[in-house]
Amino acid sequence: MLKMSLAVLALLSATAPLGAQTAAPRYDLQVRVLEGDTVLGAPHLVAAAGEAATMLSDDGHGHGWNVIMTATPTAAPGRVTVKVNARRWRDAVRQSATTELVLDEGKTATLALPADMGTPQTRIEMNVRGA
């Protein structure tokens, strides 16, 4: 009886706990927001795959921006699908863009919001790396 109990204990300790799941990959999401040649912000956040990362800047005087990014792995190693929702406001001018890109990890992609009503062009440079 003792041998059987030890064998069962060894088998139970070698298996994963019930309900255990593999951890989702994590990504370092890096952003640079530029208005003309001026860098408005360059934040980065680490988020799990499929988790939305929100980066926001508001000066309290009617100027600001936010970027929401969600990264998920693709079937191809080193490639990531990135969903981006970017918004920019300056006084009464509001601009936004939403897109979905497939990026190579470590490569920079740029999303541009056009110049509008005296507001210079806003560029959002994005880079995603495994964390």
Question: What is the pLDDT at residue 20?
Answer: 56
Contact yes or no for 100/93 (Cβ under 8 A): no
Instruction: List Cβ neighbours of 85 (8 Å cut-off, separation of 6 or more).
Output: 67, 68, 96, 97, 98
- As a whole number of angstroms, the distance between CA 49 and CA 51 comes to 6
Q: What is the pLDDT of residues 80-127, one digit of tens each?
A: 999 999 999 888 888 899 999 999 999 999 999 888 777 788 999 999
Element (H or E) spanning 77, and its range?
A: none
**pLDDT, the chain, mean:** 83
Q: What is the pLDDT of residues 6-42, one digit of tens each?
A: 333 333 344 445 555 677 899 999 999 998 889 999 9
- As a whole number of angstroms, the distance between CA 59 and CA 34 comes to 15
